Amino acid sequence: MGGGNTALEDALYLSDIAETVYLIHRRDEFRGDEASAELLKKRENVVFVLNSRVTKLTAEKRLKSIEVTDKDGKTAEYEVNGLFVAVGRIPENRAFENVLELDGSGYAVSGEDCRTKTPGVFVAGDNRAKELRQLVTAAADGASAATEAVKYLNSLK
């Protein structure tokens, strides 16, 4: 669900492993790269559900279906095994721009060890510049940042 680069990239990835991918977007055009949208249009297992939004989830121990409502109020139900919400990310790092190096999109620049160029400052999670943004990678960042912070503090003794 979404129409930006993240949603298009997620749909491309999922189309390689899923039987059917429904790409649901509230507008009739995508905000993401046109090239990615064109690649998706060539995928036979990608179904575009435009001018629509998810209005209901049905679950019994797991997600079974979603209800989608279009701009005219007409609803449709899709049987699904999962729902990936990719409706945008805007890092809120500007308050730290005098301390951290930020990339062009506002994400904090660091190594995989979560260390920044500023000694004693570590970043973790979705505010960090990285390719994959998932709960598991954010948790791993937290563990890495904490470990590196302890090393840093021990080096000050």
CATH fold group of domain 5-79: FAD/NAD(P)-binding domain (3.50.50)
Which option is the CATH number for 94-155: 3.40.50.150, 3.40.50.2000, 3.50.50.60, 3.60.15.10?
3.50.50.60
pLDDT over threshold 90, residue 132: no
Provide the pLDDT for residue 88: 67
Summarize pLDDT for 14-59 with one digit per residue, the tens: 999 999 999 999 999 998 889 999 999 999 999 999 999 999 999 9
Kindly list the domain boundaries of the chain, sorted by start residue.
Answer: 5-79, 94-155
> Cβ neighbours of residue 94 under 8 Å, at least 6 residues apart?
102, 106
Mean predicted confidence (pLDDT) in 147-157:
92
Provide the pLDDT for residue 140: 94
pLDDT over threshold 90, residue 133: no
Does the fold of domain 94-155 match that of domain 5-79? yes
- Which of residues 145 and 61 earns the better pLDDT score? 145
**Quick one: which H or E segment has residue 64?**
strand 63-70
What are the backbone angles phi and psi of residue 96, rounded to the nearest 5°? -110, 10
pLDDT confidence band for 11 (50 / 70 / 90): very high
Mean predicted confidence (pLDDT) in 105-125:
93
Summarize pLDDT for 65-99 with one digit per residue, the tens: 999 999 999 999 999 999 998 876 778 888 888 88
The C-alpha R_g of the chain, in whole angstroms, comes to: 20
